[in-house]
A = this chain, B = another copy of it.
Amino acid sequence: MKVLIVTTPVKPIGQGEGGGVDVSLHHIIRALTHRQHEVSVIAPKGSQLDADVDAKLIAIDGELQQSCQVHAPNTRFFCDDDCVLSRMWSAAQAHQDDVDCILNLAYDWLPIWLTPFLPTPVFHLISMANENQQVANALQRLNHTAPERIAFRTHAAANTFSFSRPVTTLANGYPLAQFPFSPDGDGSIAWVGRISPEKGLEDAIRIAVRADMPLKIWGFEQDSDYRQALTREFPPSILQWQGFVPHQTLLQQFQHCSALLMTPKWVEAFGNCVAEAICCGVPVVAYNAGGPAEIVENGTTGFLIRPGDLDQAAAALSHVCQMNRTEVRRQGHQRFSLEAYAERLEIWMGLQRTTHSRHSASKRQDPPRPLALG
C-alpha cells in the first residue's frame, strides 16, 4: 500500500545533524519498503534521504518551526502562510488521494488538529512525552474521538498525557544486520547517555563500585561541572570515559560489555540504547520505570530493579553476567527487528487490509482497536 510520511518542520532531514527524527524516519522507511509498501516523504527543503532507502522525497520551502522542546510548556503556535509546517500539510492535502494513509512524525499542534479535515487517515507517531499544552490538548481531543490514530513508543510516554482511551505503543525497530555480537562479556558495564544529572550517572557509578566492575561511559558531555565532580570522587579504574562516538562505533564498542546499566532520575520516554544493547546480546540492568521498564523482560533480557536501590542493582549485575547472550540477542531480534517493527506499523495503520480498501469510501472505516504492540 502507499504511505505518505510527513516529517518534522524543525529541520531538514539528513543534514548531518543526526538526531532521533532522522534515524526514526529512515528506520520506518526501511521497515515499510521491506514489506513492499510504497513510501513518499514530505520534508523541509534541503532534506536528503540516505542513498539506500527507496522513497520519493517531496521538499517544501518555508520558515522552519522551532522545536517544542526548547520552549516552555505553555508556548503558543505561530501558524501561517510563511511556515514550512502549513506548507507541508498543504502538500499532504494535495497528495492525499494518491496514498492509503499519512504518517505524521511532527510534534506540533497543526497536524494533530488537522486530522479530521483529511479523508485519508492521518496517523501520529509521538516520540516525546507531554512537553506542550497545545499539543497535549489536541492529542487528548483526538484520543477521545479517534484513539487508533495515535501511537507512542512506550506507555511511559503516553501516560504523561491525560488520555481517556488506550493508545497503541510501537517501541522501535533497528536494522539488525548492522548490529555486532560478542558471545562473551569482558567484565565491564556499559553506560550510555548525556552526561547530565537527570540521567543518574552517579547511581550507576556507585552500583559499579559495589559490583567491583569498571564502568565504560559513552555520551555527549552536557554538564562538565557534573562530570568533573564525578571524576574527582571516583578512581579511573572504575570510571572509563569513552566520549561521544558515531552510532555504529558505539555498537561496535559496547557489544563487548557484560551488561548495560540504566539508572535515570527522570522518566525516560523510550531508551534506544536499552533495546540496542539487547539486540547486541548485552543484558540490561535498569530501574523499573519509564521506557526501559517496557523494553527489558525481567529475567530474560535483563533485570528491572527498584529505582535507587543500589544494592539490588549490584546484585542483579552479577546475575546478568550469567545470562545466555545468544538468547538475549534472539529475544531482542524478535521484538526489535525492522520486520517486527514493520508488522506493528502495519497493524496500527491498517496496512494489512485488502487492496479494495484503497477506495475513499472505505478509507473512513475505523482501523483496528489500539493495542500495545511494542
Contact residues in B for A76 (Cβ distance below 8 Å)? 78, 80, 82
A211 within 8 A of B: no
Chain B nearest CB, measured from A134 CB (Å):
4
Size of chain A's interface in residues, with CB distance under 8 A? Answer: 23
Which of A78, A117, A118, A138 neighbours the largest number of chain B CB atoms within 10 Å of its CB? Answer: A117
Taken together as a complex, chains A and B put the C-alpha atoms of A79 and B110 apart, in Å, by: 8
- Which 5 A-B pairs give the minimum distances between C-beta atoms? A79-B79, A81-B137, A117-B117, A77-B80, A80-B134
Contact residues in B for A303 (Cβ distance below 8 Å)? none
Taken together as a complex, chains A and B put the C-alpha atoms of A159 and B90 apart, in Å, by: 26
Encoded as 1 (CB less than 8 Å from any B CB) or 0, chain A from 18 to 43 comes to 00000000000000000000000000
Taken together as a complex, chains A and B put the C-alpha atoms of A138 and B93 apart, in Å, by: 15
* Selected A-B contacts with CB under 8 Å, 20 pairs: A76-B78, A77-B78, A78-B79, A79-B79, A79-B80, A80-B109, A81-B109, A81-B134, A81-B137, A81-B138, A82-B134, A86-B113, A90-B113, A90-B116, A93-B116, A93-B117, A94-B116, A114-B117, A117-B117, A117-B118
A119 within 8 A of B: yes
Which of B80, B109, B119 touches A119 (beta carbons < 8 Å)?
B119
Q: Is the interface of A mostly helix, strand, loop or mixed?
A: helix
Chain B nearest CB, measured from A131 CB (Å):
14
Name the interface residues of A67-126: CB closer than 8 Å to any CB of B.
76-82, 86, 90, 93-94, 109-110, 113-114, 116-119
Taken together as a complex, chains A and B put the C-alpha atoms of A167 and B82 apart, in Å, by: 24
Contact residues in B for A134 (Cβ distance below 8 Å)? 80-82
Chain B nearest CB, measured from A276 CB (Å):
36
Name the interface residues of A217-276: CB closer than 8 Å to any CB of B.
none
Chain B nearest CB, measured from A349 CB (Å):
21
Taken together as a complex, chains A and B put the C-alpha atoms of A86 and B79 apart, in Å, by: 11
Identify 17 new A-B residue pairs, CB closer than 8 A, beyond the known A76-B82, A81-B113.
Answer: A76-B80, A77-B78, A77-B79, A78-B78, A78-B79, A79-B80, A79-B110, A80-B113, A80-B134, A81-B109, A81-B134, A81-B137, A82-B134, A90-B113, A90-B116, A117-B117, A117-B118
Contact residues in B for A141 (Cβ distance below 8 Å)? 81
Taken together as a complex, chains A and B put the C-alpha atoms of A117 and B109 apart, in Å, by: 16
Name the interface residues of A122-175: CB closer than 8 Å to any CB of B.
134, 137-138, 141
Chain B nearest CB, measured from A73 CB (Å):
13
